[in-house]
Amino acid sequence: MTENIFSGNNSIQDADKMAVELARFSQNLNFNEEQILDMVQETIIPVEQFFANYTCAIYEIETKFKVLNEQFSLIYDGNPIESIKSRVKDYDSIIRKVIKKNLPRTLEAIEENINDIAGVRVICAFEEDIYRLAKCLLQQDDITLIRQKDYIKDPKPSGYRSLHLIVSVPIFLENEKKDVKVEVQLRTIAMDFWASLEHKLKYKKNIPPDKMKMLTKELIDCANISASLDSRMQNVRNYILKSSDQ
Ligand code: GTP
Ligand code: MG
């Protein structure tokens, strides 16, 4: 029943709506109540389990970062992590990606090919903490690195900077252990501030092309200023750390 769970009806937004649709459809075919319930269960449970796996993987990764944050605060001055924001990608965005990537509409294909269903964004004050945290995460023996993209060393042409890791983490369910993929984005406060504004601009449809060109250029400029700010703040911090050692 997990086969073709998404097929034929992309307007279905979530598991509950799917249940209602299925029940309505089944009533027309004169199925009895028990048969309808069975079908709903068969359809809904794999989808709910699919999303629950990603929620659990987020718990695992968040906990790992919280533990590192606690431990780092004992060694260095203050907590390296300012905040952690996590999300499971919603149905609509998954379907849009399935269509864009021309994937088979099965849970298996989605799990195999879409790497950012679970997303954890870790925001730090300083750039060096990003690399320190990433290194500590990756050296844990239950974490497998699938892909790493360093947009801090090589920013995108837009000016976007962040360190991206696609990792796999095991979750322990009632009777099974399952490896689940999570996209981890590590950024400084300055990088996050920039990315949020640039994201807003990307989705604005009513800006005239000449204004858009000007704003895009302005944002590239802001990205350079933000990179320079990160680097200068890091230098000041290093100096403070060094002088408090003496
Ligand atoms: P998708 O973009 O998710 O299909 O995958 P990809 O393999 O191209 O991943 P990439 O690592 O380039 O980007 C993944 C995510 O990083 C995006 O979903 C955004 O959250 C963020 N990101 C990447 N590029 C930009 C950018 O130019 N601006 C902003 N604001 N965010 C970006
Ligand atoms: Mg994405």
Ligand 2 centre distance from Cα of residue 74 (Å)? 34
**How far is residue 232 CA from its own chain's centroid?**
29
Query: Which residues in 109-233 belong to E strands, given as ranges?
Result: 118-124, 144-150, 163-172, 177-188
Residue nearest to atom 26 of ligand 1 (CA): 160
Query: Which residue in the block uniquely carries the two structure tokens 């924001």?
Result: 85
Radius of gyration over every alpha carbon of the chain, rounded to an integer in angstroms? 22
Ligand 1, residues at Cβ distance < 6 Å: 116, 149, 156, 158, 160, 164, 195, 198-199
Q: What is the DSSP letter of 90?
A: P
- Closest-CA residue to 230 (of 198, 186, 197): 186
Distance CA(27)–CA(226), nearest Å, equals 59
What digits encode the pLDDT tens for the residues 68-108? 999 999 887 789 999 999 999 998 999 999 999 999 989 99
How far does the centroid of ligand 1 lie from the alpha carbon of residue 185, in Å? 10
pLDDT for the residue numbered 102 = 95
Q: At 191, which helix (H) or strand (E)? A: helix 189-202
CA of 116 to the centre of ligand 1 (A): 10
pTM, two decimals, is 0.86
Cα(57)–Cα(54) distance, integer angstroms: 5
Kindly indicate the confidence band of residue 225, based on its pLDDT and cuts at 50, 70 and 90: very high
- Compute φ and ψ for 84, nearest 5 degrees: -130, 130
Residue of minimum CA distance from atom 31 in ligand 1: 195
Between these two residues, 43 and 55, which has the higher pLDDT value?
Answer: 55
Residue 163's closest CA among 146, 150, 147? 150
Contact (Cβ atoms closer than 8 angstroms) between residue 122 and residue 81: yes
Q: State which of 98, 99, 116 you would mutate to test the pocket of ligand 1, scoring each by most atoms of that ligand within 8 A of its C-beta.
A: 116
**pLDDT exceeds cutoff 50 at 231:** yes
Q: What is the DSSP secondary structure assignment for residue 64, as one 8-state letter?
A: H
Region 50-54 average pLDDT: 96
Domains identified in the chain and CATH numbers? 8-245 (3.30.460.10)
